[in-house]
Structure 1
Amino acid sequence: MTQFTLLFASILGGLAVIFGAFGAHALKKLLNEDQLKSFETGVKYQLYHAFVLLIIGFNLSLETALEKYMVYSFMLGVVLFSFSIYGLVLSAAYNKKLKFLGPITPLGGLLLVLGWFLLTYTFV
C-alpha cells in the first residue's frame, strides 16, 4: 500500500506541474479569467494532495483499515475534484459543457474533507 501511495502521489504531482504549465501557457488565450482561476484551483488542490499523500506514504504504515480509507479518500477525492474541474472548464471553453461533471466536483471535495478528518483521527 505504501509503494502504491507514493507512486500515485508522484504521478499526481507530476501531472499537476504539467497541467499548471498547460494552463499558464496554452490555455491562457482560450480561457477567460474565471475559467483560468477555476483551472488553477484544480491544479493547486491536486498538488497539495500529492504532497499530503507523499508525507503520509513516508510516515505512516498504511496497514490499518482507517489508514487505507484515508489514502483512498484522498486519492479518489483529488481525481474527482480536480479532474472534474478540468473537464468543466475545458468543455465550457469549447462551448460543449459537460454538465454531468458539475455534481462530481463537490463529491470529490467531500472525499478530500473525509481524508483530512481520517488523518486527524489517526493522530487522536
Structure 2
Amino acid sequence: MPKPFLLLGAINTFLCIALGAFGAHGLKSVLTDDMQTIFHTGLQYHLYHSFGLLIIGLLLIHYAKSRLIELSGWLMLLGIILFSFNLYMLSLTEIRAFGIITPFGGFSYIVSWVVLAIALWKVNPSVD
C-alpha cells in the first residue's frame, strides 16, 4: 500500500512549503519571537516527517507485506497532526492549551521511527 503514503508525503511537503512561505512573509510582523520559534519548530518536524512518509511509501514498494512499515507511516501522520498542527495552532492563537496535546505527537514521531527500525530489522529482503 505505498500510494497513500507517497500521496500523503507529497501533500504534506507541499503544506510545509506553503506554511513556511506564509510564516516567513505573512506572519513575521504578526507573531512574537517566541511564537515564531514555536511555528518554526512545528514546520521543521512537519517537513522531516513529510519526507518520512515519502520514505515509507518507497519502502512499501519493496516490502509491500510489512504491516510494521505501514504502521510507522500512520504514526508519522498522527505525529504531524498532534505535534506540528498543534504547534501551528499554539503559535497562531497563543492558547497554551494546545501545548497539552503536543507531547503525544512527539511520542508518536519517536515511536514511528522505532517501529520502522524494528520493521526493517525483521524484513527478509529475499522473501518480501
Alignment match of 1:117 (pick from 110, 114, 118): 114
Structure 1 unaligned regions, length at least 5: none
Contact 2:79 2:107 (C-alpha < 8 Å) held by counterparts = yes
Give 1:89's aligned amino acid: S
Distance between the aligned counterparts of 1:66 and 1:76, measured in 2? 15
Distance between the aligned counterparts of 2:86 and 2:14, measured in 1? 18
Tell me what 2:56 maps to: 56
Structure 2 unaligned regions, length at least 5: 122-128
Distance between the aligned counterparts of 2:8 and 2:114, measured in 1? 21
Q: State the aligned residue count.
A: 119
Contact 1:87 1:98 (C-alpha < 8 Å) held by counterparts = no
Kindly name which structure, 1 or 2, has the bigger radius of gyration based on alpha carbons: 2
Distance between the aligned counterparts of 2:32 and 2:21, measured in 1? 16
Give 1:15's aligned amino acid: L
The Cα of 1:63 is off from its aligned counterpart by 2.8
Contact 1:46 1:82 (C-alpha < 8 Å) held by counterparts = yes
Q: Does 1:107 align with 2:107?
A: no
Alignment of 1:65-104 (within 5 A): 65-92=67-94, 97=95, 99=97, 101-104=98-101
Q: Deviations over 1:7-52 (max 9, x none)?
A: 1111100000010011101100011111101101111111111111
The Cα of 1:62 is off from its aligned counterpart by 4.3
TM-score by structure 2 length?
A: 0.87
The Cα of 1:122 is off from its aligned counterpart by 1.8
Q: Deviations over 1:64-118 (max 9, x none)?
A: 32122111101111111000000011011xxxx261x222110000000000101
Distance between the aligned counterparts of 2:83 and 2:22, measured in 1? 18
Structure 1 outlier segments of 4+, above 6 Å? none
Q: Which moved more, 1:56-65 or 1:21-30?
A: 56-65
| Percent of paired sites with the same residue | 39
CA RMSD of aligned residues (A): 1.3
TM-score by structure 1 length?
A: 0.89
